[in-house]
Amino acid sequence: MIRIFVDSSVLFAATYSSRGFSRDIILKGVKGNVKLVVSNLVFAEVALNLEKDAKDKLYLLEFIKEFVPFEFVRATKKDVLSAAKYVELKDAPIVAAAKKAGVDLLVTLDRKHLLGKPEISKFIKAQIVTPKEAVEIILIIE
């Protein structure tokens, strides 16, 4: 089964909108087509952003956390410092968690810091893709 690390941007999009590729990835996880992996930090970051931008969606985030069968991974300080050699410090906990989890894909909407960065992909030993690309990969595998 394909293992997918969902970063904060994707989880925010899936919570904020009832449509789109980010939501499709979450639904694939619910159906058991993929294994979704996150860290508590991802949920904390999304909660903060929803608190600022869309308080009315906070209940959906809690619903998703409760009912989607996520695998939670926690990167150590050493893991984060190692990842910080390849990415900005603010993104290092996400990259470190994805590496530690041994995922096949890191799914993100972060074009500035994560997408199109082969050195990060090589470090985590996984593809870094958009939600649309992830759905396309999932459909090929199914």
pLDDT digits (tens, 9 = 90+) for 20-51: 999 999 999 999 999 999 999 999 999 999 99
Question: pTM for this one?
Answer: 0.95
Would you tell me the crossing angle of helices 8-16 and 40-53 to the nearest 10 degrees?
50
From the options 3.40.50.12660, 3.10.560.10, 3.40.50.1010, 1.10.10.10, give the CATH code of 3-141.
Answer: 3.40.50.1010
Give 112's contacts (C-beta < 8 A, 6+ positions apart): none
Q: What residue ranges do the domains of the chain occupy?
A: 3-141
Structure-token pair, residue 90: 């603010």
The per-residue pLDDT for range 70-81, each reduced to its tens digit, is: 999 999 999 999
